[in-house]
Structure 1
Amino acid sequence: MAYSYEPHYFEDFAVGQTFQSVGRTVTESDFTFHSMFTGDWTELHSNRHYAEEEYFGGRVAHGPMTFTLATGFVYRCGFLERTVVAFLGMNYMDIPAPVKMDDSISLAMEVIETKPFSSRDDAGLVVIDTTMTNQEGTVVFEGDMKFMIKTRPE
Structure 2
Amino acid sequence: MIRSIFFEDYELGAARQSAGRTITEADIVLHAGQTGDFYPHHMDEEWCKTQPFGRRIAHGTLVFSVAVGMMAGEINPEAFSYGYDRLRFVRPVHIGDTIRAKVTVHDKRDHPKRPEYGIVSERLEAVNQHGETVLACEHLLMVKRKGEART
Tell me the secondary structure at the aligned position of residue 75 of structure 1: coil
RMSD across aligned C-alpha pairs, in angstroms?
A: 2.1
1:41 Cα deviation from its structure 2 partner: 0.2
1:55 Cα deviation from its structure 2 partner: 1.7
Matched, 1:44 2:38: no
Give the residue type in structure 2 aligned to 1:99. Answer: V
Please give the residue correspondences for 1:107-126 in structure 2 after superposition, counting only pairs within 5 Å: 107-126=101-120
Give the residue type in structure 2 aligned to 1:82. Answer: P
Give the residue type in structure 2 aligned to 1:96. Answer: V
Please give the residue correspondences for 1:64-79 in structure 2 after superposition, counting only pairs within 5 Å: 64-76=61-73, 78=74
1:126 Cα deviation from its structure 2 partner: 0.8
Bigger Rg over Cα: 2
Q: Deviations over 1:30-62 (max 9, x none)?
A: 101211111000011012222223221111011
Which of 81, 85, 105 is the equivalent residue of 1:86?
81
Give the residue type in structure 1 aligned to 2:140. Answer: K
1:74 Cα deviation from its structure 2 partner: 2.4
Equivalent in the alignment of 1:61: 58
Equivalent in the alignment of 1:141: 135
Percent of aligned pairs sharing the same letter: 27
Mapped to 2, the partners of 1:128 and 1:137 lie a distance apart of 20
* TM-score normalized with structure 1 length: 0.83
Gaps in structure 2 of 5+ consecutive residues:
none
Mapped to 1, the partners of 2:138 and 2:71 lie a distance apart of 11
Tell me the secondary structure at the aligned position of residue 109 of structure 2: strand
1:130 Cα deviation from its structure 2 partner: 1.8
1:81 Cα deviation from its structure 2 partner: 4.0
* TM-score normalized with structure 2 length: 0.85
Give the residue type in structure 2 aligned to 1:39. Answer: G
Give the residue type in structure 2 aligned to 1:102. Answer: G
Mapped to 2, the partners of 1:71 and 1:110 lie a distance apart of 13
Q: Is the CA contact 2:70–2:101 (under 8 Å) kept in the aligned structure 1?
A: yes
Mapped to 2, the partners of 1:136 and 1:129 lie a distance apart of 20
Say if 1:7 and 1:48 are closer, same or farther in 2 by CA, change over 3 A: farther
Equivalent in the alignment of 2:10: 13
